[in-house]
Structure 1
Amino acid sequence: MQSTLRTQVLKAVAIVAMASAAVSCRTQAPASSTGTSTSTTSASERLTNERLTEQSLIPMPVSVTATNNLFELTSNTDIYVQDGSPELRNIGQYLANLLNPSTGLGIGVQTTQRAPKQGNIYLALRNDAALGDEGYELTITRDGVQLVANKPAGVFRGIQTLRQSLPARVEMTSQQAGPWQIPTGTIRDYPTYEYRGAMLDVARHFFGVEDVKRYIDLIAAYKMNALHLHLADDQGWRIEIKSWPRLTTHGGSTQVGGGKGGFYTQEQYKDLVRYAQERYITIIPEIDMPGHTNAALASYPELNCDNKARELYTGIEVGFSTLCTEKEITYKFIDDVVRELAAMTPGPFLHMGGDESHVTPMKDYIPFINRVQDIVEKHGKRMIGWDEVTNAKLKPSTVAQFWAKADYAKSAAQQGAKVIMSPATKAYLDMQYDSTTKLGLHWAAYIELDSAYIWDPATMVPGVTKAHILGVEAPIWTETLTNMEQLEYMAFPRLPGIAEVAWSPSTVRDWNTYKVRLGKHGARLKAMGINYYPSKLVQWSEQ
């Protein structure tokens, strides 16, 4: 979605016991273990807290209680998972696959009916209503690691915290020197917002399956749970629709700049869905309409009011295309597309766009959106639309995605619809960092790291409170981005900050402390092979 204005490790952790009493560091209510405020803690306690802070957890957990010791992974360490849950077994294997390449410890996965003997990692499910569906409790002692949650998704989120508690070199794909130590303590954590997403535009420039999987892994590392794929736009149609095959063979043949395009077969798309599901991420496909549809209009002349196929388009202008909203063939087309997408998409949402349809008269746009909502609902899905869809009468199940106009977000809330917060001035990852940035655009804003982090979804739009908000999403549009290296440079390190906005309570979020965590997190970004923007606002450590 773009505005009409734009035409463009860490060293091994070694925590030394500094006092006989454990130090408690709670992120929601800072206090020492004796109950005194952090401003009166001793010098030794402050030093210990600083070393624990070097774990640089992003997103910041709800509560961290630190104790003064270490657990060490050794060649005798295994991962034990509670018996009776194949999902937990798969998560255990995911963790082993993360740990083994860098540690070389050959950590195995075993099932058990009780907590294992010391020296191991234990993953289990436990009834703890306060944790919700994605919360977890991570307990690290000298003798072992225990990660428990209500649901497997919570265990998976906790693993992302566990990996960040290890030296950054654990992220590397070749064997590294030990020791592999984790500071001891307890973390209780759960998300602020139910929906925490990233959007990837594969229509302007096409990104293949392996690139998308890479992005899935990167957003999973920061506890995001949705990947919104922008699959069709003026420049290309990227998903095979068997009942309308020219959408991809013709409409998907090019991209911005005129290069070779591409598309996902239905089997490739299903593979991406499975890959995301294994990381507890829901894929949300988007077919933008009635505007942003030139690729479809070039593929099938009958979708145009004059029955003349349009030329393929490789520029970056917006707002010039529209489906013919008066023709029944248009709704047959939409029904077929939605039917095939719904059958391949187990998640609850289909995104139907609705933005920047400047050549569609409002008298035609409103009944079109109403009818599309009916089609999506008929196929058992909930519709998401960009904020312009609030011009129509929204169904209670419809979600409006705020990107530009606060009045539209407010209208959605007044209609009883949920809102996804994606303000272009804060959350659009393709916006340039400053005037020297060579990639991206700046029609919405220049967005430095502090700007991307310092905002509260629940107070950004008057009349849209936390109760109205489904969650937060960070879109990245690809008019100027042609490969993963460029994509990563624009997404990182803003994406981890927006992930924290979506996950962490506002009471634990502070730019001055976050930028310190992020700076120390630089070593992990480097170990993960991420090409990130080294903002001068942050003091970076890459060791």
Structure 2
Amino acid sequence: MARILGSLLLVAAAGAFTVGAAPAARATPTPLDRVVPAPASVTPGGSPYRITRGTRISVTGSGEARRVGEYLAAVLRPSTGYPLPVTANGHGGIRLRITKGVFGAEGYRLDSGRGGITITASAPAGLFHGVQTLRQLLPAAVEKKSVQPGPWLVAGGTVQDSPRYAYRGAMLDVSRHFFTVAQVKRYIDELALYKINKLHLHLSDDQGWRIAIDSWPRLATYGGSTQVGGGPGGHYTKADYREIVRYAASRYLEVVPEIDLPGHTNAALASYADLNCDGVAPPLYTGTDVGFSTLCVPKKITYDFVDDVVRELAALTPGRYLHIGGDEAHSTSHADYVAFMDKVQPVVAKYGKTVIGWHQLTGATPAPGALAQYWGLDDTSAEEKAQVAKAARNGTGLILSPADRIYLDMKYTEDTPLGQDWAGLVEVRRSYDWDPGHYLDGAPASAVRGVEAPLWTETITDSADIEYMAFPRLAGAAELGWSPAATHGWDGYKVRLAAQGPRWDALGIKYYKSPQVPWPTS
């Protein structure tokens, strides 16, 4: 009996060892360099850290740093099932530390080893970006909202990181189709995962005016009452807009509002007849043509309108920038365009904001400190490129958004069910494989402030559409903005990108599975 009992105990022990060992054998931590955007510096080594039921998140620094800790805990708790209390000045576990003057406004260092993980930064934004790296170093199942089996291992070593460019943006056009506050928040969360720090909201166009302006109420109530193809449209109340700004700030994104002027203004012209040179309001517009509308440049009321809109929008927007559009003003003469921009740019400055305009602004005289957003193509005319490059040499900063590279509404292939193809077909490799620092001939690399991936929404109607067109190309745009040029290379990037697929699956992101990317098969 003793021998039988002993044998049974040995079998039970062996079974326990096998059951316990199998997950450990499969649990290989994600390498520290398997991250998007690619970190500036990675030094692997040492034992991994394992998040367990006893792990705490300890925070040293400001109240804002504690909020980053609470954010991390909120990400990890549903999938791990662990309590993960957030405490002050603890030891071991996951530590978030603020140290003055070492890592810049957005940089961080992540140290991982058997004894714990420490993310150190000079500002809360850096801690937040370090947390995004930590998320990617954990299994993709960490993103799920139900308890998963784990284990939750983080590879040992050090990541030291900071951005190449200060401006790393994504634009969402809410004018052609309107998107709710909840839909915008979902996109903000997706942008934050890849260290994007600007959300450019295209708030007005021919098809809809999307922000309430108290002094001109019909802009929103009438001008915002439709969208491409018809439908109810919509607009943000001031409280809605403030909530978007607040939520973006909690993810360390700055909202850049755009009121497109002097063209792309049919929704405003339809709302107020006096803004038209002939005093006759056109009908609301639900098509997709461009270039047919213009404010009346000689009229005084035009500048009263601009002053009121900029004043109210600037008061709602804590960020530095206000975008005044300026593209495709085909119905405005060149002389009128120059005169209009000469009058409007000082209004933006009067209310404490820095001008951004599409690159056609360089055909006028950009204000000191203004940024020009280049949306041309590889084969845009040499004359137009030279105009932008000259402005850059004269001190105008550049945001690069070449349409045939990172316009997220361009079709991937001719069979893509959504999007447009006027700038060409833009597969994942093409959207990634260019260098912002050497893209525009004649423009000094020092003039480039960053990159932005716009998503125009003529064919986009819901969050699933946004995600299908944005992912995976958005991740590449984020890497172009964040990572050092030395890390750039398609062969390595496509492997790191492929590893994002299971994470997007866990997050419920409906992405395009490009055949150019070696996605996991199971």
Give the 3-state SS of the residue equivalent to 1:198 in structure 2.
Answer: strand
| Partner in structure 1 of residue 74 of structure 2 | 97
For residue 102 of structure 1, what is the amino acid of its counterpart?
S
| Partner in structure 1 of residue 302 of structure 2 | 330
| 2:207–2:226 contact (8 Å) kept in structure 1 | yes
Q: Is 1:356 the equivalent of 2:328?
A: yes
Q: Residue 390 of structure 1: CA displacement?
A: 0.6
Give the 3-state SS of the residue equivalent to 1:321 in structure 2.
Answer: coil
Segments of structure 1 that go 5 or more residues without pairing to the other structure are 1-10, 17-47
Q: Distance in 1 between matches of 2:187 and 2:34?
A: 21
Between 120-129 and 60-69, the greater mean CA deviation after superposition: 120-129
Distance 1:15 1:165, change over 3 A: farther
| Partner in structure 1 of residue 213 of structure 2 | 241
| 2:428–2:473 contact (8 Å) kept in structure 1 | yes
Q: Residue 138 of structure 1: CA displacement?
A: 0.2
Give the 3-state SS of the residue equivalent to 1:307 in structure 2.
Answer: coil
Structure 1 runs (4+) greater than 6 angstroms displaced: 11-16
Q: Residue 407 of structure 1: CA displacement?
A: 2.7
For residue 121 of structure 1, the aligned residue among 86, 89, 94 is: 94
Q: Residue 127 of structure 1: CA displacement?
A: 3.2
For residue 41 of structure 2, the aligned residue among 63, 66, 72 is: 63
Q: Is 1:423 the equivalent of 2:397?
A: no
Q: Distance in 2 between matches of 1:231 and 1:426?
A: 23
Task: Give the 5 Å matches for 1:72-471.
Answer: 72-83=50-61, 85-112=62-89, 116-118=90-92, 120-129=93-102, 131-404=103-376, 405-471=384-450
Q: Residue 128 of structure 1: CA displacement?
A: 4.8
Q: Residue 12 of structure 1: CA displacement?
A: 7.5
| 1:390–1:400 contact (8 Å) kept in structure 2 | yes
1:310-350, CA deviations, whole angstroms, 9 ceiling, x for partnerless residues? 10000000000000011000000000000000000000100
Q: Distance in 2 between matches of 1:417 and 1:295?
A: 30
Distance 1:14 1:450, change over 3 A: farther
| 1:12–1:180 contact (8 Å) kept in structure 2 | no
Give the 3-state SS of the residue equivalent to 2:155 in structure 1.
Answer: strand
Between 237-246 and 66-75, the greater mean CA deviation after superposition: 66-75
| 1:396–1:417 contact (8 Å) kept in structure 2 | yes
Q: What fraction of aligned residue pairs are identical, expressed as a percent? A: 52
Distance 1:294 1:542, change over 3 A: farther
| 1:53–1:517 contact (8 Å) kept in structure 2 | no
Q: Distance in 2 between matches of 1:72 and 1:518?
A: 25
| Partner in structure 2 of residue 23 of structure 1 | none
| Partner in structure 2 of residue 496 of structure 1 | 475
Q: Residue 406 of structure 1: CA displacement?
A: 2.3
Q: Residue 506 of structure 1: CA displacement?
A: 1.1
Q: Distance in 1 between matches of 2:203 and 2:276?
A: 20
Distance 1:535 1:12, change over 3 A: farther
Q: Distance in 2 between matches of 1:346 and 1:288?
A: 19
1:329-377, CA deviations, whole angstroms, 9 ceiling, x for partnerless residues? 0000000000000000000100000000001000100010111101000
Between 120-129 and 311-320, the greater mean CA deviation after superposition: 120-129
For residue 494 of structure 2, what is the amino acid of its counterpart?
K
Q: Residue 181 of structure 1: CA displacement?
A: 1.0
Give the 3-state SS of the residue equivalent to 1:256 in structure 2.
Answer: coil
Q: Distance in 1 between matches of 2:372 and 2:33?
A: 37
1:365-422, CA deviations, whole angstroms, 9 ceiling, x for partnerless residues? 0010111101000111001000001111112221100111423431320331111011
Give the 3-state SS of the residue equivalent to 1:138 in structure 2.
Answer: strand
Q: Residue 13 of structure 1: CA displacement?
A: 8.3
Q: Residue 52 of structure 1: CA displacement?
A: 4.7
Q: Residue 117 of structure 1: CA displacement?
A: 3.0
Give the 3-state SS of the residue equivalent to 1:541 in structure 2.
Answer: coil
Q: Distance in 2 between matches of 1:411 and 1:169?
A: 49
Between 54-63 and 291-300, the greater mean CA deviation after superposition: 54-63
| 1:52–1:66 contact (8 Å) kept in structure 2 | no
| 1:523–1:542 contact (8 Å) kept in structure 2 | no
For residue 208 of structure 1, what is the amino acid of its counterpart?
T
For residue 374 of structure 2, what is the amino acid of its counterpart?
F
Q: Residue 153 of structure 1: CA displacement?
A: 0.7
Give the 3-state SS of the residue equivalent to 2:233 in structure 1.
Answer: coil
Q: Is 1:518 the equivalent of 2:492?
A: no
Q: Distance in 1 between matches of 2:141 and 2:227?
A: 38
For residue 117 of structure 1, what is the amino acid of its counterpart?
H
Q: CA RMSD in A?
A: 1.5
Q: Distance in 2 between matches of 1:504 and 1:290?
A: 36
Q: Residue 263 of structure 1: CA displacement?
A: 0.4
| 1:196–1:471 contact (8 Å) kept in structure 2 | yes
Q: How many residues align?
A: 494
1:412-434, CA deviations, whole angstroms, 9 ceiling, x for partnerless residues? 20331111011111010000001
| Partner in structure 2 of residue 27 of structure 1 | none
Q: Distance in 1 between matches of 2:85 and 2:354?
A: 41
| 1:102–1:174 contact (8 Å) kept in structure 2 | yes
| 1:13–1:182 contact (8 Å) kept in structure 2 | no
Q: Distance in 2 between matches of 1:538 and 1:242?
A: 49
Q: Distance in 2 between matches of 1:532 and 1:230?
A: 23
